[in-house]
């Protein structure tokens, strides 16, 4: 029976560290670190995510600025909001909540963000840094997963890691981080042949596919560490990408959904914001 990774507890500990660093920044430099969150349109899931991020900022002593824009906002209007935030001194981080309404081009919008303020780590400059092995701002979800592995004493070094999913926000940066940690990494996607066999080769299996209970227990190598990134809303409630009950029987460690990776994503956003604040003034957090 697998041990269940307590993402909530680790996220709380990381949030406390971020809060200490934010308080120290405010005491030294006369203002708190600041995060601007831009939400376009009225997608209910996005509104919940933004509300949670705002609350987490308040708890950590990070000033948050919410920019709520109508669904009919044009590309030019959105980019000009971002350009204004790029210039604002009290704003250290800018986050554009995705997905954007269909008429907006998220790639161009992300490109408009000053890379120094790109606390989601999605700007090609920051993704390029990761590819070059010189990461500065790392996307929050994979960064949070690396932190979970570390906290549970799982070193990727020499392990076979399999990442299911190749998105720019989860799968690809996850694979790069695991490789930087000296794992041998296989990336799978919708065109991969014989996914169960590939998954079964994993000492560390990360599922970021977006399909409820997609990964079955029989795909899991006995003793593997299973990280479930999926957040799928189903009539039976929130489900991960892994069949949790089946996986429990095979894995040695597993993240639950909810309460696993999700809370870490928010915690890493706070850490990235505080670090961006220090970096913008040429310092690093003292803790």
Active-site residue flag, 53: yes
Give the nearest distance from C-beta 203 to ligand NDP in angstroms. Answer: 20
Among the options 92, 117, 118, 120, which is catalytic?
120
Q: How far apart are CA 135 and CA 115, in angstroms?
A: 12
Of residues 167 and 201, the one with the C-beta less far from ligand NDP: 167
Give the total of residues touching ligand NDP (CB under 6 A): 25
Residue 120 a catalytic site member: yes
Closest separation between CB of residue 216 and ligand NDP, Å?
A: 13
CB of 187 to ligand NDP, least distance (A): 9
Among 191, 193, 282, 284, binds ligand NDP (CB under 6 A): 191
Binding test (CB under 6 A) with ligand NDP, winner from 15, 123, 159, 166: 166
Q: How far is the CB of 29 from ligand NDP (least distance, A)?
A: 30
191 part of the active site:
no
Q: With contacts defined by CB under 6 A, name the span among 61-69, 79-87, 100-108, 183-191 that binds ligand NDP.
A: 183-191
User: Which of these ranges, 72-80, 117-125, 178-186, 187-195, lies near ligand NDP under the rule CB under 6 A?
Assistant: 187-195
Binding site for ligand NDP (CB under 6 A): 141, 164-167, 169-171, 188-192, 195, 208-211, 229-232, 261-262, 265
User: What are the catalytic residues?
Assistant: 53, 97, 120
């Amino acid at each position: 029976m697998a041990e269940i990774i307590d993402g909530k507890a680790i996220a709380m500990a990381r949030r406390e560290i971020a809060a200490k660093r934010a308080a120290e920044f405010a005491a030294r430099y006369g203002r708190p670190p600041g995060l601007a969150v831009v939400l376009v349109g009225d997608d209910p899931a996005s509104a919940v995510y933004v509300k949670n991020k705002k609350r987490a900022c308040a708890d950590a002593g990070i000033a948050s600025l919410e920019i709520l824009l109508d669904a009919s906002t044009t590309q030019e209007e959105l980019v000009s909001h971002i350009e204004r935030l790029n210039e604002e001194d009290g704003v250290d981080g800018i986050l554009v909540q995705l997905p954007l309404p269909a008429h907006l081009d998220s790639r161009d919008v992300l490109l408009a963000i000053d890379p120094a303020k790109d606390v989601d780590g999605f700007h090609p400059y920051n993704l390029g840094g990761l590819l070059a092995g010189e990461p500065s701002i790392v996307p929050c979800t994979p960064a949070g997963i690396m932190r979970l592995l570390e906290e549970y004493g799982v070193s990727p070094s020499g392990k076979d890691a399999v990442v299911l999913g190749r998105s720019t926000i989860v799968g690809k940066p996850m694979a790069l981080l695991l490789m930087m940690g000296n794992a041998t990494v296989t990336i799978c996607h919708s065109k991969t042949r014989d996914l169960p066999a590939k998954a079964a080769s994993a000492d560390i299996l990360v599922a970021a596919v977006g399909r409820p209970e997609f990964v079955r227990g029989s795909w899991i190598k006995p003793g593997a560490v299973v990280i479930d990134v999926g957040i799928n809303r189903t009539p039976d409630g929130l489900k991960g990408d892994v069949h949790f009950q089946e996986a429990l029987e095979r894995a040695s460690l597993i993240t639950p959904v909810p309460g696993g990776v999700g809370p870490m994503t928010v915690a890493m956003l706070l850490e990235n914001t505080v670090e961006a604040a220090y970096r913008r003034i040429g310092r690093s957090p003292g803790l």
